[in-house]
Amino acid sequence: MDNPVLRFLRFLVMDNWPITLVAALGFVAIYLLLPRPRGGARAVGVAAAGLALLLTGALIVRAGAFTAEVVLFYAFSGIAVIAGGLLVTQSNPARAALSFALVVLSTCGLFLLQAAPFLMAATTIIYAGAIVVTFLFVIMLAQQEGVSDADQRSREPLLASLTGFVLLGAILYVLHAGYGTGDIDDAIARVRQAKTKPSAKEMAAVFGDEGHNFKAFFDGFRQAIKKGGDSSEARALSDAVDDLQDRWVGKVVRNDDAAEGRDVCERLEEVGLRARASYGILQPPADTRLSAYSGPPANAPLFPPADGKPDPGALRRDRDSRVPQMPHENTAYLGRALFTDYLLAVELGGTLLLVATVGAIAIAGRRGGRNA
Partner 1 sequence: MNPIPLHHYLVVGAILFALGAIGFLARRNLIVMFLSAEMMLQGVAVNLVAFARYRGNLQGQAFTLFILTVAACEAAIALALILMLFRRRGSLDVSLWQELREPGQEPTVDEEPLPPPPKEEPLPELTPSGFEPPAREETSHV
Under the binding rule (CB under 8 A), the answer on residue 93 touching partner 1 is yes
Q: Name residues contacting partner 1, limited to 337-356 (CB under 8 A).
A: 337-338, 341-342, 345, 349, 352-353, 355-356
Binding mask 149-168 for partner 1 (x = CB under 8 A): xxxxxxxxx-xxx-xxx-xx
Q: Which is nearer to partner 1, 30 or 236 (CB)?
A: 30
Q: C-beta of 287: minimal distance to partner 1 in Å?
A: 15
CA-wise closest residue to 130 among 100, 109, 151, 150: 100
Span of 4-12, 126-134, 213-221, 245-253 interacting with partner 1 by CB under 8 A: 126-134
Under the binding rule (CB under 8 A), the answer on residue 110 touching partner 1 is yes
Half-sphere exposure of 121 (CA within 13 A, CB side): 5
Q: Which is nearer to partner 1, 144 or 199 (CB)?
A: 144
Q: Give me the amino acid identity at 68.
A: A
Give the length of the chain.
Answer: 372
Under the binding rule (CB under 8 A), the answer on residue 177 touching partner 1 is no
How many amino acids of this chain bind partner 1 (CB under 8 A)?
A: 129
Within 10 Å of residue 336's Cβ, how many Cβ atoms?
Answer: 16
Out of 9, 44, 58, 147, the residue judged to bind partner 1 by CB under 8 A:
147
Q: Which is nearer to partner 1, 54 or 353 (CB)?
A: 353
Binding mask 235-254 for partner 1 (x = CB under 8 A): --------------------
Contacts of 54 (CB under 8 A, 6+ apart): none
Q: Give me the amino acid identity at 209.
A: D
Q: Give me the amino acid identity at 130.
A: A
Contacts of 81 (CB under 8 A, 6+ apart): 53, 56
* 8 A C-beta contact, residue 260 and residue 194: no
Span of 9-17, 75-83, 208-216, 259-267 interacting with partner 1 by CB under 8 A: 75-83
* 8 A C-beta contact, residue 40 and residue 32: yes
Q: Which is nearer to partner 1, 43 or 140 (CB)?
A: 140
Under the binding rule (CB under 8 A), the answer on residue 127 touching partner 1 is yes
Under the binding rule (CB under 8 A), the answer on residue 171 touching partner 1 is yes
Under the binding rule (CB under 8 A), the answer on residue 187 touching partner 1 is no
**290-299 core/surface letters (b: 16 or more CB in 10 A; e: else):** eeeebeeeee
